[in-house]
Amino acid sequence: MSRLAIIGAGWAGMAAAVTATAAGHQVVLFEATHALGGRARSVAGQLLDGTPVTLDNGQHILIGAYSETMRLLLQVGVDPKTALLRLPLTLRFPDGAGLQFPNWPAPFDAFGAIVGARGWRVADKWSLLCLAGRWQRQGFACDANASVTQLCQGLSTRVLAELIEPLCVSALNTPAHEASAQVFLRVMQDALFGAAGASYLLLPRRDLSALFPAAGARHLLEHGAQLRLAARVGALVAHGSGWQVDGESFDAVIVATGASAAARLLTSSAASVDAATAQAMQRWCALAKALRFEAIATVYAWCPGARLSTPMLALRPDATAPAQFVFDRGQLGGSQGLLAFVVSASRADRATLQAQVLRQASAQLGLALQPVQTIVEKQATFACTPGLQRPALQIAPALLACGDYVAGPYPATLEGAVRSGLAAVAALQTS
């Protein structure tokens, strides 16, 4: 049994802690704030009449392909069947246009959705069927330096606007003309052409903190791990074959903070190590610092009796109507009449976004909404651009990193974070 420090209690750090504890490690989990969950946590809010509501620091979507996230939820005692609303993948707009996957085996469900798409011409459908067939024949591989827009050359304008761009910005949080085609294809392969049920939407029926972090914390405490909240780690010091975390000795350390915080911590810690280890840490920090980040804004708005036709609708964004999706929190276990508008790859200020989204709700949904709260996560995800080199899992001997930005096949998603945490523990056990 080794003594393991995990720094950061977001989804990656929590996944690593649960997995390491189950493997027999003595885990101490450090979190700089009073809250678990990192960028996927709940926050307190209130309606204009003073009614308290629970909001999320971003409206997250899970899909059936998130196999490791589903397994982890079960491990900590959360039943995905009750905690998540399972729906066939649907990209429908308020006017009824768009597509919905039928309940057929993959990949026939994807082809059925394309053929049955509402509002699409035969030429639109044929362009996408041809492209999807080519992706499959090529093994979902492409030039590592290609963008999603380049990957989709030949598609009709409507298919690009109503399918590719919404899927790209929701999965990679990066506009299609800037996004990595290689990573996009991996997501498409797993989600749209993967195992049975992989394409299904899994919408949280409870707030994000209750979905995993709170249950994970209970599980860790029940199995002997330590959780230290409001415990900001100041420095790591090499100590024998392991490390000291603020003077406390550990056999290994997993840094599970965001990229910027990890780079700051490692830069301040490099003075305690030998020259070769310092160089390795500096190279890792250089890659972390080079990442560019994209924001996600969630505009919460409310009016009595507001109810969408489905729990989630796609919207038509433009320069003055920025939201790509809207969610009915009342249909997802939240307050009736409360809607959450998501603006991925957001680049405007909070006040502008809120005003634009309220006008968009009026124009596209016919709803006069009152603003509740607008949450802007400025570093929600890394910009998933072509040829991007991400920091590695291994930083130095007995020192690893995990997080949705660490090198791996997935973009910055909950599944990417969870898989990174599991990979860090696996690497620790084999080193």
Q: Which residues contact 315 (CB under 8 A, 6 or more apart)?
A: 93, 94, 321, 323, 324, 325, 326, 341, 360, 364
Q: Do domains 3-37+212-291+387-430 and 42-60+293-382 have the same CATH topology?
A: no
Average pLDDT over residues 18-40: 96
Q: Are 201 and 377 in contact (CB under 8 A)?
A: no
Q: Which helix H or strand E contains 341, and what residues bound it? A: strand 338-346
- DSSP of 97-112, one letter per residue? -EEE--S--TTHHHHH
List the domain boundaries for the chain: 3-37+212-291+387-430, 42-60+293-382, 89-199
The pTM assigned to this predicted structure is: 0.94
Q: Is 80 helix (H, G, I), strand (E, B) or coil?
A: helix
Kindly state the tokens that stand for 409: 């096949």
pLDDT tens, position by position, 141-188: 999 999 999 999 989 999 999 889 988 998 999 999 999 999 999 988
- C-alpha dihedral (34, 38, 41, 47), degrees to nearest 10: 70
Fold of 42-60+293-382: Polyamine Oxidase; Chain A, domain 2 (3.90.660)
Give the pLDDT band (50/70/90) at residue 14. Answer: very high
Structure confidence by residue, pLDDT tens digits, 85-121: 999 888 899 999 998 888 888 778 888 989 999 999 9
- On whether the CB atoms of residues 330 and 281 are closer than 8 A, the answer is no
When pLDDT is cut at 50, 70 and 90, the band that residue 1 belongs to is low
Class of domain 3-37+212-291+387-430: alpha beta
Tens of pLDDT, residue by residue over 395-429, are: 999 999 999 999 998 899 999 999 999 999 999 97
Average pLDDT of the residues in 14-32: 97
* Residue keyed to tokens 């209970």: 218
* Mean pLDDT of the 127-138 span: 91
